[in-house]
Amino acid sequence: MKINRSSSKSFTHRIFIWISVLIFVQSHALRAQLIIVPIDQTRYAEEVTDEPNLRAQASLNLPFFDDFSTSKTPAPNTRNWLTGSGVYINNTLTSSHPSVNVATFDGLNANGIPYNVVNPLTQGYTDTLTSQPVNLGGKVAADSVYLSFYWAAKGLGELPDSSDFLRLELYSKTNEWVPVWTQLGYEVDTLFHQQFISIKDPNYLHDGFQFRFRSYGRSSGPYDSWHLDYVYLNAKRSVKQPYLFDVAMRKPVSNILRKYTAMPLRQYRANPQSFTADSVRTDIVNHFNNFNILTSTFTLTDVQRGTEYARNVQRSIYVASLKSQTLGVKLSPLNPAGPLDSLHLISKFYITTTDTIPGANLKTNDTITARTALADYFAYDDGSAEYGVQMNQKLGRVAVQYVLAKADTIGGVRMSMVSFNKDISGQGFTIQILGNKNGKPDQVISQRSVAVRYPAIRDGLIDYAFSIPVAVPDTFYVGWLQINDQPVTVGFDRNSTLGANSVYYNLGTEWAKETSLKGSIMIRPYLGKKAQGVITGNEPNDRINAIFYPNPAKGEVQWNNRSLNRVEIYSSAGNLIHTFTPSREQQSVLVDHLSQGIYIFKATDGKRSFVQKMLISK
């Protein structure tokens, strides 16, 4: 039998990649309690079509220009591009991009689903961004038609493997897609690079010309990331003059809040000075080989009422050629008048420039905005999940710290629920609210058993409400208990680091601070209307939750709720060991027959369920 060495080598290489990924995840899990994983988010921004290259409109005239700043959804603008590309428009997955917004090839289709969910080793073409037809009819080589673009690998996503690539193909008169440029995965850094492609072959100079970018890699998830920006096709260009007469906004506007990206207005009002950032910032970049002088304006406006809380104009800003520059404005605490219960603010920077490309609109990248909610919830994240975070141990717990201006009530929790290679809809986990002791989570104040659900849109949130608002002290914690072998995956924001120092984990009886995360877990507690009492300390409230104690326990476990009518004891592996029905006045049980170790106590009073991890010692 003749062996195809090329195919054998390719298969061996794919096996090596898959084994390497498993080794990496497992080794990371051994040394970490919380692990970061790539995610596949559902996003219904556009409908996937069986024929993604179907022409949808008449041919465009030159110039063709798109820096993706005009896209109002996660999908590319259909004026320039065909639908069904799978490409994700965002301003969060890179940090050194040329202009506000990039097109990210993330290995997921237009609905945010992996192209192949059967075989994790499969490689193939994934995202394909195809232009609308462009009229190059009548053009000749002497017209010097060039296509230029900026590309980068990885960003805040995954670095492409050596067998992955990004490819540019041109559509010929003979109805064929011809590769003209390929960037291999093993030849990349993480910077943006400009590429020029000359289009002088008569085979491409026709009125139905198209071009497309295609990513090739693992098709079972978002494992290889490429980014595209500043796509520009025009005649009368020269590779010796690659510069664009354009100054563009770029990085997201920084937070106007000091500790959070969003918080309740009634908490903000209690101490505006401590919660307001000293300044707000963004940056601009000059793509021309000459300096530029411009004017920058910053406004802070309540979008609901039109009230302007801040305006700052900076004139004669000098921007050196081919350089970026930070724009910053000092902030003062807000003092909203009237009986308002929320503010939805827009922070906006815009610049006045003389940018020009005849026939192209360069003004859309002169404005950049950010939204801040002073409503009913706390958030550390910016609203976009680049990764997911998991507790890698069954019965492990995660908790995120929140510091208030004063004690309040919590009505529920909104969570970013995302998937990693597997849909675990319906799987149970427990949301917990905990008190504070010496700067770490303490006893459980309240908890609720819930099931995993996924939002209908990308970066959507699932609302888990408590039936009764929970009174909390001025420092409290919100998190979850992992009760199954298959971990729950919660959205993780790599761009905002405001919550990086507020995460704790517990694998037994002790809480420890998580120091390896460089981002924020997307879990948002929101205020309740009223509670059954006001928390002034960390004592357990038996009207809200049953607390088993002492912990660790030796010989006997007690509880402070006389209404319990069933108690179950499980091993750390999840096996049911003992079940009993307490009498009405019974508030303890002997556990001297249990060997030393960690156990799960589950109880119910007929209306509510309680789960608590206990350490039994000898």
Phi, psi (degrees; rounded to nearest 5) at 488? -75, 140
**Largest pairwise CA distance in the chain:** 96
CATH at residue 611: 2.60.40
Mark whether 216 and 308 lie in a shared domain. no
Neighbours of 592 (CB within 10 A): 9
Report if residue 538 sits inside a domain: no
Mark whether 421 and 361 lie in a shared domain. no
Both tokens of 200, joined, read 């002088």
* Among candidate residues 209, 242, 275, the one where a domain is terminated: 242
CATH at residue 269: 2.60.40.10
Report if residue 73 sits inside a domain: yes
Which of 613, 509, 605 lies closest to 566, judged by CA? 605
Report if residue 535 sits inside a domain: no
CA pair distance 114, 108, nearest whole angstrom: 5
CATH at residue 506: 2.60.120
For the chain, the domain total comes to: 4
Q: Measured at the alpha carbon of residue 213, what is the angle toward residues 212 and 216, in degrees to the nearest 5?
A: 135
Mark whether 340 and 360 lie in a shared domain. yes
Mark whether 501 and 434 lie in a shared domain. yes
* Among candidate residues 217, 242, 267, the one where a domain is terminated: 242
Mark whether 522 and 596 lie in a shared domain. no
Domain that holds residue 471: 387-527
From the first residue on, what is the mean pLDDT of each consecutive set of 10 residues in the chain (618 residues)?
A: 36 40 40 74 40 62 93 84 89 90 84 67 88 96 96 89 94 96 90 95 96 89 86 94 90 95 95 96 94 94 91 94 94 87 94 80 90 96 90 92 96 94 89 95 93 88 93 96 92 92 92 92 89 33 54 84 85 80 84 85 79 80
Report if residue 199 sits inside a domain: yes
Q: What pLDDT does 277 receive?
A: 97
Report if residue 30 sits inside a domain: no
Compute CA 467 distance to the chain's CA centroid, rounded to the nearest angstrom: 29
Evaluate the omega torsion of the peptide bond into residue 550 and state whether it is cis, within 30 degrees of 0.
yes
Report if residue 5 sits inside a domain: no
Mark whether 185 and 267 lie in a shared domain. no
Q: What pLDDT does 533 receive?
A: 36
478's CB contacts (< 8 A; 6+ apart) are 399, 400, 402, 410, 413, 431, 432, 433, 434, 523, 525
Report if residue 38 sits inside a domain: no
CA pair distance 486, 508, nearest whole angstrom: 18
Mark whether 303 and 410 lie in a shared domain. no
Which of 220, 216, 17, 22 lies closest to 118, judged by CA? 220
Q: What pLDDT does 39 receive?
A: 78
Mark whether 445 and 363 lie in a shared domain. no
Mark whether 427 and 507 lie in a shared domain. yes
Based on the number of CB atoms within 10 Å of its own CB, is 500 exposed (0-12), middle (13-18) or buried (19 or more)? middle
* Among candidate residues 317, 352, 375, the one where a domain is terminated: 375
Mark whether 208 and 82 lie in a shared domain. yes
Q: What pLDDT does 520 receive?
A: 96
Q: What is the pTM for the complete model shown?
A: 0.73
Both tokens of 607, joined, read 């209306």
Neighbours of 539 (CB within 10 A): 13
Neighbours of 195 (CB within 10 A): 13
Phi, psi (degrees; rounded to nearest 5) at 283? -145, 165
Q: Is the dihedral of CA 413, 608, 506, 394 positive or negative?
A: negative
Mark whether 295 and 366 lie in a shared domain. yes
Cβ pair 227, 102 in contact under 8 A: yes
Mark whether 60 and 193 lie in a shared domain. yes
